[in-house]
Homo-oligomer: A and B are copies of this chain.
């Protein structure tokens, strides 16, 4: 039972009560009572051991007993920007797996050939939180609301930037080899990688990304579905930046 006593509480150190949804789980499902021990994660790197002080109605108050900062297991900021697949469940599992493996941020892009034009970021957020708890991470990946490819390009991002695509016309480097090379981008180890929709990015989109300083890359010689490509990119980035 103790296994499931993990709760996500943003800004946990300054709060003294579980958020409503977490309180419901703590009280109705786990039936925690005053004096019971539980663990909180604040999503920005710290676990807390806490004791339930009040368990009444929909309210679960706590007192923090200990704090345990979690050491990062990878360097830099790993950001995946992906055109969501037509089938939402394929995005959902990818987000679950990417959270388990470890990454920092996900953005969803509306592209010219996108089959899915809207996406409920709140649903993705729930999956991220659940996977974060299950895999005992004190760091929560940031989930951004969907935006158009053009809007995304208009924002400046630090670090190295990559776009994966299947066009033969644009020379491509190997993503994993590239990110493993010695960093000389002013010691910035951040990685932002773009994965297109089922029908790929358009030529214009690839062209725009190249103009914006993105590097043209391939994830290897296998033909991957969009969600598999997204997860592969995250796994490669995590491997290339891991701290052992």
Binding site for B on A (CB under 8 A): 73, 93, 97, 100-102, 134-137, 174, 176-177, 220-225, 228, 231-232, 235-236, 238-239, 242-244
Contacts and interface: CB of A to CB of B under 8 A. Distances in A.
The 7 closest A-B pairs by CB, nearest first: A73-B221, A135-B223, A100-B228, A136-B223, A102-B222, A97-B228, A100-B224
A223 B100 contact: yes
Given A176-B239, A220-B239, 10 more contacts: A97-B228, A100-B222, A100-B223, A100-B225, A101-B222, A101-B224, A134-B223, A135-B223, A136-B223, A236-B239
A101 B73 CA distance: 24
11 contacts: A97-B231, A101-B222, A101-B232, A102-B222, A134-B223, A135-B223, A176-B239, A221-B242, A221-B243, A232-B235, A239-B239
Contacts of A239: 176, 220, 236, 239
Contacts of A136: 223
A242 B177 CA distance: 11
A243 B220 CA distance: 9
A239 B137 CA distance: 26
Nearest to A223: B135
A76 B89 CA distance: 33
Contacts of A224: 100-101, 135
Contacts of A135: 222-225
A42 B13 CA distance: 60
Contacts of A220: 73, 238-239, 242
Contacts of A242: 220-221
A166 to B, nearest CB: 12
A135 to B, nearest CB: 5
Nearest to A134: B225
Contacts of A102: 222
A40 to B, nearest CB: 17
A71 to B, nearest CB: 9
Contacts of A134: 223, 225
Contacts of A238: 220, 222
Contacts of A100: 222-225, 228
